[in-house]
Amino acid sequence: MPDELIYNVRSSCRSLIGRMLIRKLFKFENAHIVRNCTSDRCKRSIHGHSYKVELLLKANKLDHGQMVYDFGLLKGVIKELYDSFDHAICFWQDDSPEYIQACKQFSARWVSLPVSPSAEQFSRIFFYLAQQVLNSTITQNGEGDVEVYSVIVHETDTGYAQSFIEDIENPQMGQLHLQDIIFSEQVQTEWTDALMYEKLKQGNRFKNPQVEIGRASCRERV
């Protein structure tokens, strides 16, 4: 094994020492065109996929419920943002104006992205969105430094893309900013709070529910 590869493997392992991972699976249906790819069908014709998104979180301690992060909390803002891509068409903001206008005209649910809607970029987008939500969340159950470890986007049964923090911060892969990810009006009206994304962009804080800490009852020794 080359020395550089050995170093990278060891560095990756060291970064997870003392950290536990949890995984939450999300599913949605989405349509797109991936411009400039090799496949003629994919770059010239609208087509869809049944996506599966694996969100992996990491932390170096457990909360009062002895969890990294309660799965129920991931059914809030993060789930609503991920669900925004369901039954929607996604397009790259640099695509042709005629195509973008057609998407908006014939689909009430659409998402405009600053990058092409490939599986690779989807993994970066979903990593970035979850990261922004967690950074804006006030936890109330003794959670540790909960962070996004990785996101895996399954585009087909045999193909997936996986991103890490280094990929989010890599300018060569495209800059990501909340204001450049735009959801259609129909998508926004289906959120529990129609102003949810605007609040996230403005840096408002989301507060997790207060938890009453109890103690499990034990039988007294006879």
* Nearest-angstrom CA–CA distance, 110 and 133: 21
Q: Which amino acid is at 29?
A: E
Q: Are 61 and 1 in contact (CB under 8 A)?
A: no
Per-residue pLDDT tens digits for 169-212: 999 999 999 999 999 999 999 999 999 999 999 999 999 999 98
Q: Which amino acid is at 33?
A: I
Distances (CA, A) of 171 to 37, 128, 206: 20, 14, 28
Q: Is the dihedral of CA 72, 180, 163, 205 positive or negative?
A: negative
Q: What is the rounded distance in angstroms from the CA atom of residue 107 to the CA atom of residue 116?
A: 18
- Give the span between the Cα atoms of 78 and 67, in whole angstroms: 18
* DSSP symbol at 62: -
Fold classification of 19-207 is Tetrahydropterin Synthase; Chain A (3.30.479)
Give the Cα separation of 76 and 174 in Å (integer): 27
Confidence band (pLDDT; 50, 70, 90) for 116? very high
Q: List, for residues 88-98, the tens digit of each pLDDT value.
A: 999 999 999 99
Active site residues: 42, 87, 155
Note the pLDDT tens digit of each residue in 37-52.
999 999 999 999 999 9
The mean per-residue pLDDT over the stretch 50-67 comes to 96
Least confident among 93-107, 150-164, 165-179, 200-214 = 200-214
How much is the pLDDT for 213?
A: 86
Which of 55, 39, 51, 127 lies closest to 90 in space, CA to CA? 51
pLDDT at 6 over 50: no
Read off the DSSP letter of residue 71: G
- Give me the mean pLDDT over the 79-90 stretch: 98
As to burial, measured by CB atoms within 10 angstroms (0-12 exposed, 13-18 middle, 19+ buried), residue 204 is exposed
CA distance 82 to 53: 9
Compute the C-alpha angle 46/48/49, nearest 5°.
155
Nearest to 202 by CA among 179, 182, 176: 179
**Predicted confidence (pLDDT) at residue 16 exceeds the cutoff of 50:** yes
Query: Please, where are the H alpha helices in 47-89?
Result: 77-83
Phi, psi of 33 (to 5 degrees): -125, 135
Give pLDDT, residue 139. 95
What's residue 4's pLDDT? Answer: 52
What whole-number percentage of the chain has pLDDT above 90? 86
pLDDT of residue 19: 81
Q: Between these two residues, 83 and 7, which has the higher pLDDT value?
A: 83
* 109-131: burial string, b at 16+ Cβ within 10 Å, e else: bbbbbbbbbbbbbbbbbbbbbbb
